[in-house]
A and B are shown apart, each in its own frame.
Chain A
Amino acid sequence: MSLAERLYLPAILGGIVITFKHLFKKAATVRFPEKTREISAVWRGQHVLKRDDKGAERCTACGLCAVACPAEAITMTAGERKKGEENLYREEKYATTYEINMLRCIFCGLCEEACPKEAIFLTDRIVETDYSRDGFIYGKDKLVEGVNERIDVTKRQTKQVLEFKQHKQLSHNK
């Protein structure tokens, strides 16, 4: 090392100049409860189980989302639609229970990609914190959108997705 390096002082001076400059820089902090961080329009947050135009649940409990899920966060049980429930469930088979463990979920969006019925989507809502592990297992009560409180997922339907849906010969879009 040269004398200047062994003295430490030039290096220290350079260091304190750098830190002094940071004194006047804008803080990167977002004051969270008052302000939330701006997130992308296609943010992958809490899931929603969609209803169709008439208000019937789209999910048919085929289990493709559970198969696709790399974190194995999704479980469901299938049930048969009774007579008179046509306005509740779109097809003869539906999910009597549908649970996503939000502690396991990695929000990759593969469930959404696997779904042949356009039933599950990730939304820009952030999963809330909870005090117990049980609180993070979201059932149908939390996942299915309200009939009168539809959740807009059009932002997630990007140009590519809409283009893909044009091809009616593909089994995914039938």
Chain B
Amino acid sequence: MMTEFIIYKLIMVGAIFGITLGVAAYSTYAERKVAAFLQDRIGPDRAGPWGIFQPLADGLKFMMKEEIIPVVSNKFLFVLGPCIAMLTALMAGVLIPWGSSITINGTEYPLQIADLNIGILYVFGVVSIGVYGIMIGGWASNNKFSLLGAIRASAQMISYEIAMGLSIIALILMTGTLSLNELSAQQAGGVGGEWNFWNIVYQPVGFLIFLVCAFAETNRTPFDLPECETELVGGYHTEYSSFKLAFYLFAEYINMFVSGAVMATLYFGGYNFPFMNDLGLDQNVIVILGTIALFAKIFFFIFFFMWIRWTIPRFRYDQLMNLGWKGLIPLAVINILVTGFIVLISAD
């Protein structure tokens, strides 16, 4: 039983690791393609049919580039920075329920690596550590631009983490659980007797705040201030080259994937899809369809990240801080008060 459990967990970890990296790799391709289509261009189409081997070519290019560690840098921290960024990006995927349980020979195998009862807090904790990757990398470079970029990035991420956390509190007040698995299960859709709406219906404002903060947390446009050619050269990764730079850039795409998964799980029903219990299908088939539905939602969010990137110009730094501290945080607090009031009334 124990070996079976370990094997099953190892398969899950391997699969999630592979899928995360695969999706992140193809997000780079998708980013270029989406950018091209939104700008009436074609995008990369030389490496393989429709350019589908472009991520391999990009990865190979990164590996072949000269690796430079500046002499004035702190070498240990310089290498540690991208490692932390990558590690924390990958760690957050552990808690996402990729589907409900598949039953094989009477044994239930939940499609989730670890079901912590404080799931959301773990995700937030890991995401917070991600700031250190940028901070350490920028500081260890011993370059003014890197340091300024790192300061900007950490100020931005810490500011928006507050609003993000507050937006989640309203959701937790409503659902009464911190476990991502339970949050998904609560949103199960079906007509026959158990008809639950997705949380977006109850928490539209909370979702909006969460979405905006997710953009800021992943350093995506319009909040991509840490990188800025005109002011900061490359921002915190000015001194980075070769595969360490690839780690930083790759971590951003993994973060996009993970935040898409978190948004889908928290607000868009996770692995549930409408009328899932009314199709009269085998439970295992529904689970697989649910996993596909979850990935469809995640891919939509990744597309949305890119869509916004090629639509909206970036904020100025003071506008960014104004929006975070004077806009989103008060709004999130009001959202908590209103939600709390409604929960209190409906409890009676």
Contact = CB atoms under 8 A, between A and B. Distances in A.
Interface stretch (B55-63, B72-80, B161-169, B306-314): B306-314
B307 A19 contact: yes
Contacts of A170: none
Contacts of B40: 22, 25-28
Nearest to B315: A8
A16 B308 contact: yes
B38 A27 contact: no
Nearest to B45: A31
A19 B271 CA distance: 29
A23 interface: yes
Contact of A16 (B36, B37, B41, B307): B307
A23 to B, nearest CB: 5
A23 B37 contact: yes
A19 B39 CA distance: 8
Contacts, number: 32
Nearest to B208: A9
Measured as residues with beta carbon below 8 angstroms from the partner, the interface class of chain A is: 10 to 19
A29 B307 contact: no
B310 to A, nearest CB: 6
Query: Which applies to chain B's interface (DSSP): helix, strand, loop or mixed?
Result: loop
Interface in B220-260: none
A23 B42 CA distance: 11
Contact of A15 (B39, B41, B312): B312
Measured as residues with beta carbon below 8 angstroms from the partner, the interface class of chain B is: 10 to 19
Contacts of A25: 40
B38 A22 contact: yes
A23 B306 CA distance: 12
A20 interface: yes
Contact of A29 (B38, B42, B310, B311): B42
Contacts of A28: 40-41
Contacts of B307: 16, 19-20
A27 B50 CA distance: 14
B310 A19 contact: yes
A3 interface: no
A39 interface: no
Nearest to B37: A23
A22 B312 contact: no
Nearest to A16: B311
Nearest to B310: A19
Nearest to A20: B307
Interface of B: 36-42, 307-308, 310-312
Interface of A: 12, 15-16, 18-20, 22-23, 25-29, 31
In the A-B complex, the 3 residue pairs with the smallest Cβ-Cβ separation, listed nearest first, are: A15-B311, A29-B42, A19-B311
